[in-house]
């Protein structure tokens, strides 16, 4: 089964991972956890920027 396309290579790589015993459930759980952590950090950043903008606006519009 020779496939020259990148997608084919990716599929082969995935099958190799499954053979090694990395289950899809564990991969999915890790991805979800990473996304959750990123969104939490993102919201903290948004709140922080909002706070800074409010301080700046109060400072300039007195």
Could you report the per-residue pLDDT of 5-52, keeping only the tens digit for each?
Answer: 767 777 777 676 666 666 667 777 888 888 888 888 888 888 898 999
Total domains in the fold of the chain: 1
Say if CB 43 and CB 49 are below 8 A apart: no
| Encoded tokens for 13 | 């790589």
Owning domain of residue 57: 23-62
pLDDT at 4: 65
pTM over 0.75? The answer is: no
Q: Please indicate, yes or no, if residue 2 is contained in any of the structural domains.
A: no
Does some domain include residue 41? yes
**Pair of tokens at residue 1:** 């089964």
Let me know if residue 17 belongs to a domain. no
What does 14-60 look like in DSSP terms, one character per residue?
HHHHHHHT--HHHHHHHHHHHHHHHHHHHHHHHHHHHHHHHHHHHHH
């Amino acid at each position: 089964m020779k496939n020259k396309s990148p997608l084919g290579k990716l599929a082969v790589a995935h099958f190799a991972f499954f053979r090694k015993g990395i289950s899809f459930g564990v991969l999915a759980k890790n991805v979800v956890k990473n996304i959750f952590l990123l969104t939490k950090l993102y919201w903290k950043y948004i709140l922080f920027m909002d706070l800074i903008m409010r301080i700046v606006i109060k400072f300039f519009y007195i």
